[in-house]
């Protein structure tokens, strides 16, 4: 059986450019903090990658802080307390929600935290328009904007500077880089407490010897992702996503396509069949040779009603029947049609059992 990978929102396959760059970086022995030639060679790799990530994200290289991933980068939000509150959008990723009690909003330097594109549905959220009082959120205002752009960057045009954000997070492995490396973007002139104390690396913002190999792969992946954007690769991916949805919609009347009328990432389709558990669908598709998911990879395996989908207005029975299919630049039309055929075969059996 030739397996088909349709779970790009969980992680993208490692790009050849990233693999080659990482292999070359393995032969560089120096510590980036060392001043000798070997150390300077390692430092050069880190700074080259910093420039590549900055170019993709529309920011200055000095605004890029390398981390172990977007989850670690989101820890910057915990430093807001006790001087202010973090106001988290209800559809934000669990990594943003993880550490915050929002039972009350204090006065002070409040932060509005949002995901630019939802990992489960692909729906793109437009931040509210900033006023003289700050970023509006219900009856409150925030002085700073934090954006989780992990799913969006590299798939849709986005710039840190024109977004108006003060902070943003992303991960290399969503771009086709290695797992275990990411970045926090910090607006020039904004002071933050260190994400991690220690030797003062990353201009004191995140201590610990830099992951030179991973950062090298991150930079190469960012460079390749920008090329794909410029070449219109994701426009072709969107066409495949639309073929998938139209093929399924023509054969089923019960299934709901989530966010189909909203701006979405070009690669993401989330569809829900009431009563047919998403976890069951994932297992059935896995046995048929297709890798898909029933939601965010960070929440898979947890027995709970999908928070994001119910926040979007779906009832629990429908939300629990959601499946996410996410495509990438190497996905083919044949793979999409083969998946559609396999899924529809199981969907027909489900309807027969439910009748």
- Which string of b and e fits 188-226 if b means at least 16 CB within 10 Å? eeeebebbeeeeebbeebbebebbbbbbbbbbbbbbbbb
Q: Which of 57, 59, 270, 298 is catalytic?
A: 298
Q: Which residue has the tokens 């919609």?
A: 249
Q: What's the first-to-final CA gap in the chain, in angstroms?
A: 32
β-strands 322-326, 268-272: how paired?
antiparallel
* CA–CA dist 254, 274 (Å, integer): 7
Q: How far apart are CA 167 and CA 188, in angstroms?
A: 10
298 is catalytic: yes
Strands 182-186 and 64-67: antiparallel
Distance CA 25, CA 159 (A): 28
Within 13 Å of residue 212, how many CA atoms lie on the same side as its CB? 20
Q: Are 177 and 217 in contact (CB under 8 A)?
A: yes
d(CA 15, CA 59): 23
CA distance 256 to 342: 18
Which residues make beta-bridge pairs with 55?
none
Please tell me the distance from the alpha carbon of residue 154 to that of residue 87, in angstroms, as a whole number.
26
Q: What single DSSP character describes residue 204?
A: G
Residue 133, Cβ density class (10 Å: 0-12 exposed, 13-18 middle, ≥19 buried): exposed
The catalytic residue positions are 298
């Amino acid at each position: 059986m030739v397996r088909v990978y349709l779970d790009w929102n969980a992680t993208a396959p490692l790009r050849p450019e990233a693999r080659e760059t990482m292999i070359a970086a393995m032969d560089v022995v120096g510590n980036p903090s060392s001043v000798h030639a070997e150390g300077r060679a390692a430092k050069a790799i880190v700074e080259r990658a910093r420039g590549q990530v900055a170019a993709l994200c529309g920011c200055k290289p000095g605004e890029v802080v390398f981390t172990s991933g977007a989850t670690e980068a989101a820890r910057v939000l915990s430093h807001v307390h006790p001087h202010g509150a973090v106001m988290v959008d209800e559809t934000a990723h669990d990594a943003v929600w993880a550490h915050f009690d929002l039972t009350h909003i204090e006065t002070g330097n409040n932060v509005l935290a949002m995901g630019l594109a939802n990992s489960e549905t692909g729906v793109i959220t437009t931040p509210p328009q900033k006023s003289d009082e700050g970023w509006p959120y219900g009856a409150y205002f925030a002085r700073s904007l934090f954006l989780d752009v992990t799913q969006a960057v590299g798939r849709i045009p986005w710039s840190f500077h024109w977004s108006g954000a003060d902070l943003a997070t992303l991960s290399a492995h969503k771009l086709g880089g290695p797992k275990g490396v990411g970045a926090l973007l910090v607006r020039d002139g904004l002071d933050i407490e260190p994400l991690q104390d220690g030797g003062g690396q990353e201009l004191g913002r995140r201590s610990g010897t830099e992951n030179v190999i991973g950062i090298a792969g991150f930079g190469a992946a960012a460079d390749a992702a920008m090329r794909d954007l410029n070449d219109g690769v994701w426009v072709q991916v969107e066409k495949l996503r639309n073929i998938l949805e139209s093929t399924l919609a023509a054969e089923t009347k019960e299934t709901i396509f989530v966010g189909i009328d909203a701006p979405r990432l070009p690669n993401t389709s989330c569809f829900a069949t009431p009563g047919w558990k998403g976890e069951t669908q994932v297992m059935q598709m896995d046995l048929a040779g297709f890798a898909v998911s029933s939601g965010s990879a960070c929440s898979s395996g947890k027995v709970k009603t999908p928070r994001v989908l119910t926040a979007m207005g779906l009832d629990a029975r429908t939300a629990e029947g959601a499946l996410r299919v996410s495509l990438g630049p190497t996905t083919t039309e044949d793979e999409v049609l083969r998946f559609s055929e396999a899924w529809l075969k199981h969907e027909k059996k489900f309807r027969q059992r439910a009748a």
